[in-house]
Amino acid sequence: MIAITVSENIKNAKIEDCFGKSEYFFIINKKTKESYFEKNPAKELLKNSGREAALFLIKKGVKTVISSNFGVPVKKLFDKNKVQMVMISSKIKYLNDIEWVNK
Amino acid sequence: MARPIKPRKLLLPHKAISFIPEKKDGIPSESITLLSEEYEVIKLVDYENMNHLQAAKIMKVSRPTLTRIYKKARNKIAESLIEQKTLKLEGGNSYMVENWYKCDDCEAVFNIPESFSFLQNCPVCSGKSIHLFSNNNT
């Protein structure tokens, strides 16, 4: 399962820069092609939003997370749970810039 | 002879970026180089709100050394703002705790956890042209 941080629950949503403050996660299983949006339950938290968002995705069984930036507490959690972190470049701005999202 | 400087530990890679002041006359400004360890200190202390001791432990340096790097970084950023100089993020004396890889096609940067197959394609564009990423030589 792969999670991508996005600003809206639509296919041409902007990819969010900050992992913990992301509005939604686009979650996709590349094998079954099943995909859906999940609201980030930690977005409104004043503290530890990255950590709580990471725990939420780990519980969902996500193995790869695509975002622009990750913080230190998030990295520690993902390392411990063997979750891959992917930092996209500014070349990719929208969810549908990623080819396999639309297949 | 002065003791050689120990490389500073970085947890995450950063993107090589330049911040260029917008000038009406369009004349290219002078530049200042912000080193990778200086960028990391600003990120840990000012962006992630860690205290100097916490940040020093992460970067495997003493607290006074971290404070020195932080002061230097702040001075450079201030100089860039006040004197409208370009701020370039490059160089430094640092190392990353694990290997990160960069895709030549989409420029995504990613790690490969133990449980993953090493010879995987880029997780974003499925490109096969991947090389080891380093903050000093992107």
B82 and B107 inside one domain: no
- Is the Cα torsion angle B59, B62, B67, B72 positive or negative in sign? negative
B13 and B73 inside one domain: yes
**Stretch A78-89: mean pLDDT:** 92
Among the partner residues A75, A82, A86, nearest to B123 by beta-carbon distance = A86
pLDDT of residue A100: 83
B109 and B76 inside one domain: no
B87 and B105 inside one domain: no
CATH number, domain A2-101, options 3.30.420.40, 3.30.420.130, 3.40.190.10, 3.40.50.1820: 3.30.420.130
Contacts of A88 in chain B (CB under 8 A): 106, 108, 124
Which residue has tokens 């004043």? A46
What predicted TM-score, i.e. pTM, was given to this entire model?
0.85
A87–B13: do the CB atoms touch at under 8 Å? yes
User: Predicted ipTM?
Assistant: 0.88
Q: Is residue B132 scored above 70 in pLDDT?
A: yes
> In B37-115, which ranges are E strands?
86-89, 94-96, 100-103, 109-111
B43 and B82 inside one domain: yes
What mean pLDDT value characterizes chain B?
86
Question: Taking the CB of residue B88, how many other CB atoms lie within 10 A of it?
Answer: 17
What mean pLDDT value characterizes chain A?
89
CB-CB contact of B132 with B119 (8 Å): no
B84 and B136 inside one domain: no
B80 and B114 inside one domain: no
Please give the tally of structural domains in chain B: 2
Contacts of A85 in chain B (CB under 8 A): 12, 110-111
A100–B110: do the CB atoms touch at under 8 Å? no
Pick the residue with more confidence: B78 or B91? B78
pLDDT of residue B135: 63
| CA distances in angstroms from B22 to A20, B26, B81, listed in the order given | 31, 8, 11
Per residue in B1-27, pLDDT tens?
777 777 888 888 887 678 888 877 777
Per residue in A10-59, pLDDT tens?
888 999 888 888 999 999 998 888 899 999 998 888 788 889 999 999 99
B92 and B120 inside one domain: no
Per residue in B108-127, pLDDT tens?
899 888 877 666 788 888 88
CA distance A78 to chain B (A): 9
Contacts of B107 in chain A (CB under 8 A): 89, 91
Provide the residue range defining the domain that includes B19.
Answer: 8-96
Among the partner residues A72, A89, A98, nearest to B48 by beta-carbon distance = A72
Per residue in B25-40, pLDDT tens?
777 678 999 999 999 9
CA distance A77 to chain B (A): 12
B59: closest chain A residue by CA: A72
- B65 belongs to a structural domain: yes
A84–B50: do the CB atoms touch at under 8 Å? no
- B91 belongs to a structural domain: yes
Of chain B, the percentage scoring pLDDT greater than 70 comes to: 93
B76 and B103 inside one domain: no
